[in-house]
Amino acid sequence: MTPSSPAPRPDALHGAGAAAAGAAAGTTGDPHLDRYAARTTGMTASEIRALFAVASRPEVVSLAGGMPNLAALPLDSLAVEVGDLVATEGQGALQYGSAQGVPVLREQIGEVMAFEAGSLAATGGFAPDDVVVTVGSQSALDMLTRLFVDPGDVVLAESPSYVGALGSFAAYQAEVRHVAMDDDGLVPAALEEALERLAREGRRAKFLYTVPNFHNPVGVSLAPGRRAQVVELCRRYGVLIVEDNPYGLLGFDGQTYESLRSLDPENVVYLGSFSKIFASGLRVGWALAPHGIRDKLVLAAESATLCPPAFTQLVVSRYLATHDWRSLVKSFREMYRERCEAMLGALETHLPEGCSWTRPRGGFFVWATVPEGVDTRAMLPRAISARVAYASGTGFHADGSGARHMRLSFCYPPPERIVEGVRRLAGVLDGELEVLRTFGLSGSGATGARPSSGTPGPQAPSVDTA
């Protein structure tokens, strides 16, 4: 089968799946097909997006998405603040603004980072002028890739890595080299090996992309003892670090980690976001970069959007100024801890022998490994038929490998739904293993689904899998 052939799926899934497969194969009758830039070949729809219409039905428990749970947000008082913002500052809030971001918010970002680091000095120190406000950290990732990556350039990223980052790397035709992780995060010896191999090839990675805290999709954090090693290796080999930290404040016990940026401010671009600690729909994030890179980011922002929306930045600014956001962050931690515990307990109770999973201490995600022979990508339509969705590990690897893994999100459904979702997932896995035992094939292989290895991994960033 060709990589773009649709996998067999239950009838209920045909509509959405066929449309996406058609788009990937270029069979939609698009009359502009021969005009697109070469880079668009790397832009493919997330495989789960095709299934999303079905997966988002209320009867399906979705453990697939990375949507923050906004239930604890004080919507009434926020509404008052937003109304007042329009009434009293509307002329500025609804106007074009600076491409670097609204000054008052850049100031307040210092407070947020100091809350995580313990003090402003512990962040590595910075001034509001070092900050560039971005349209979520996703746009910072896109702009950084645009600034640094020519087609064929190497980007180093953890194995597995955040799907939205891989989507940006693919869109700019980067060659992604994955670096192994274990329960303590990125493995320094594996990083050194990757850097050394590149040096032998006469090449140098443009940057290392890493999510050191409560990783998406694995859920683990880079051990404190490894941080200086990673920073030192990158400096030694002349490789910039892009440190992406949207989950750093969501340690269940309030545990936070030293940022890589604080260890080497001149060689690290730090990305932060209000998506997981306030409101993802406002699309406000930030980059903290050495001055040369900061200036280029501002130019890139100008050419992309002229400026980030002043209105959403001022909503964030009001929220920070008028609400006890630190206490709200603490309540988010509690909410996610409870959900994570529900998931871990259910996995222990229900998942068949031979499965393993990570035990996160923060963030949104558990990374599960299934027994040899089971293909989580091919199994997904059957899981959705059984009314549970997850994100297959294949989306988190640039080469489409990772079929023995899946990402299970505990952030959104309430605990009892998580438990029910895991119970359904266990039933599907039992079925796959039964076929495997009977026919000596994976349940997926037995039904003729395409193999996952060698299929295109990088996908367009998608809200379904973020």
Ligand X SMILES: Cc1ncc(COP(=O)(O)O)c(C=O)c1O
Query: How many chain residues are in contact with ligand X, going by CB under 6 A?
Result: 15
Q: Which residues have C-beta within 8 Å of that of residue 360, sequence separation ≥ 6?
A: 214, 219, 220, 340, 366
The whole-angstrom separation of Cα 220 and Cα 223 is: 9
Cβ-based nearer residue to ligand X, 67 or 436: 67
Judged by beta carbon, residue 305 or residue 453, the one nearer ligand X is: 305
Residues from 365 through 394 that contact ligand X (CB under 6 A): none
Rounded least distance, CB 420 to ligand X, Å: 24
Distance CA 339, CA 349 (A): 15
Of 98, 137, 317, 455, the one binding ligand X by CB under 6 A: 137
Residue in 46, 221, 273, 312 binding ligand X, rule: CB under 6 A = 273
Q: Report the site for ligand X in 149-178 (rule: CB under 6 A).
A: 162, 164
Strand partners, 132: 287
Nearer to ligand X, 13 or 140 (CB): 140
Taking CB under 6 A as the criterion, which residues in 62-101 touch ligand X? 66
Residue 275 or 444: the one with the smaller Cβ distance to ligand X is 275
Does 142 bind ligand X (CB under 6 A)? Our answer is no
Using rule CB under 6 A, residue 285 touches ligand X: yes
- Give every CB contact of residue 387 below 8 A, 6+ residues apart in sequence: 59, 60, 61, 424
Q: With respect to ligand X, which residue has the nearer C-beta, 234 or 271?
A: 271
Span of 49-57, 122-130, 135-143, 323-331 interacting with ligand X by CB under 6 A: 135-143
Angstrom CA distances, 403 to 68, 83, 121, 161, 293, stand at: 26, 48, 43, 14, 37
Q: Give the span between the Cα atoms of 273 and 366, in whole angstroms.
A: 21
Least Å distance between CB 277 and ligand X?
Answer: 10
Residue with the closest Cβ to ligand X? 136
DSSP summary character for residue 235: H
List the interface residues with ligand X, window 229-248 (CB under 6 A): 244, 246
Name the one range near ligand X by CB under 6 A: 80-88, 108-116, 133-141, 423-431.
133-141
Binding segment for ligand X (CB under 6 A), chosen from 109-117, 220-228, 262-270, 273-281, is 273-281
**Binder to ligand X among 256, 280, 317, 409 (CB under 6 A)?**
280
Least distance from C-beta 445 to ligand X, angstroms? 31
Please say which residue, 17 or 66, places its beta carbon nearer to ligand X: 66
Cα–Cα separations (whole angstroms), residue 382 to 78, 202, 447: 42, 46, 11
> Is there a cis peptide before residue 74, judged by omega within 30 degrees of 0?
no
Cβ proximity to ligand X, 6 vs 217, nearer residue: 217
Question: Which is closer to ligand X, CB of 66 or CB of 443?
Answer: 66
Q: Please, what is the minimum distance in Å from the beta carbon of residue 466 to ligand X? A: 4
Confirm or reject binding of residue 459 to ligand X (CB under 6 A). no
Of 132-140, 142-150, 151-159, 174-182, the segment contacting ligand X by CB under 6 A is: 132-140
Q: Kindly provide the residue ranges of all beta strands, DSSP E only, lying in 317-431, ordered along the sequence.
A: 356-357, 365-369, 388-389, 391-392, 405-409
Report 196-225 residues binding ligand X (CB under 6 A).
211, 216
Judged by CB under 6 A, the residue of 46, 100, 173, 275 near ligand X is: 275
3-state SS, one letter per residue, for 22-90: HHHHCCCCCCCHHHCCHHHHHCCCCHHHHHHHHHCCCCCEECCCCCCCCCCCCHHHHHHHHHHHHHHHH
Q: In whole angstroms, how far apart are CA 446 and each of 387, 424, 439, 449, 450?
A: 21, 21, 7, 8, 10
What burial letters (b/e) apply to 399-413, b meaning 16+ CB within 10 Å?
bbbbbbbbbbbbbbb
Q: Are strands 175-182 and 185-186 parallel, antiparallel or unpaired?
A: antiparallel
Nearer to ligand X, 100 or 280 (CB): 280
Q: Which residues bind ligand X (CB under 6 A)?
A: 66, 136-138, 162, 164, 211, 216, 244, 246, 273, 275, 280, 285, 466
